[in-house]
Amino acid sequence: MISKDLFNYLKSYGFKFKMYDEDGNGPIIDFELAEYIYAVKDDSSLMIVVEHKSSRDYKNLYLYKTPNIKQNTFRKILADIKRIGANYGYSTTVKSFGREITPKDFALLPKQKKKEDMTESFEHKAKKKTSYLMKERAKVVVKHSESDSELKKNIKEMYVVSKNGEKRKLPRNNLSLGKAIANHVNAGGNLYDKSVNDLFQMSDDFHDLSKMDFDSVLTECTDDQKESLKEFMKEARKQINRYIGNLARKKSQLDECNYNTPEKTFSRGFFSHLTNDDDLADKLSNISMFITIIKK
């Protein structure tokens, strides 16, 4: 894992550091979610941005240099970070920050990056109580309950509309899901094809499971079994959010999920035996199959 290797390198070099997720939240300890790595040694500070998600064919590491770091020290660090990045297929870009980096910068940089990503991917227009994220063949239409609302605020309902006039309402006003489906349609997919239906089914199943209190529902399960299901849901949430987030940035079609397989039958049987609830087992096995397919 690239973030862990960068962590170990910085630690061996004597840096103290903190990690932040893609939204600038932190400090965090989960390497998989670490996108911003803030490192300090003596009077020098560095920042490494790990580009986990990219619509390009390659990924990038951004190494932000501050003014007072010694050139010989920086050249050594740069060479090592380039080597680590290359091992994972990353190229490395050096940028000057212009001043010392502080933790408060992590509240601003992710917001700026998201704004740039959205501008590059979708044309954003707004009119009274409606916002539009436009593509060549599809658009996300966001209806607000109040005039002049920001894109993600006061959302009343949300649709994806194709160029030929087809329209589909989005469940639970999930903007990333809307952008993912708009990208799918723009790349040649259809609003009502199997891939979109699979994604909606998965979204509904996961929503139902997320609201469930496993402690009160699974009265016949042991505490270890309940904890195992809770950990499964936690990991599933992480994988699904990452998958939809990637699709919201990519110009590609959705993966198609085949639920009629021996693996699905086995998975459903396993969860049915564990929960003694066929409907619950079916939802859990659907999520399990979906995760298996998107991780390939």
pLDDT score, position 181:
94
Which pLDDT score, from 0 to 100, does residue 58 have? Answer: 58
Q: What is the full per-residue pLDDT of the chain (296 aa) written as tens digits?
A: 788 888 888 888 888 888 888 777 778 888 778 888 888 887 777 888 887 765 444 578 888 877 777 778 888 888 999 999 888 888 888 877 666 666 566 555 655 555 545 444 688 889 889 999 998 899 999 999 998 788 888 899 999 999 999 999 998 888 989 999 999 999 889 999 999 999 999 999 999 998 888 888 888 888 888 888 988 998 888 888 888 888 887 767 787 777 777 888 899 999 998 888 899 999 999 999 888 888 76
Q: Name the pTM for this structure.
A: 0.59
Q: Please state at what angle helix 278-294 crosses helix 262-275, rounded to 10 degrees.
A: 140
- Residue reference for tokens 């992710």: 110
- Residue 282, pLDDT score: 92
What are the φ and ψ backbone dihedral angles of 80, each rounded to 5 degrees?
-70, -40
Distance separating alpha carbons of residues 73 and 13, to the nearest angstrom: 10
Give pLDDT, residue 2. 87
- The pLDDT value recorded for residue 71 is 79
Contacts (Cβ under 8 Å, ≥6 apart) of 22? 33, 35, 36, 52, 53, 110
Q: How many CB atoms neighbour CB 259 within 10 A?
A: 17
Supply the pLDDT for residue 191: 95
Q: What is the pLDDT of residue 55?
A: 45
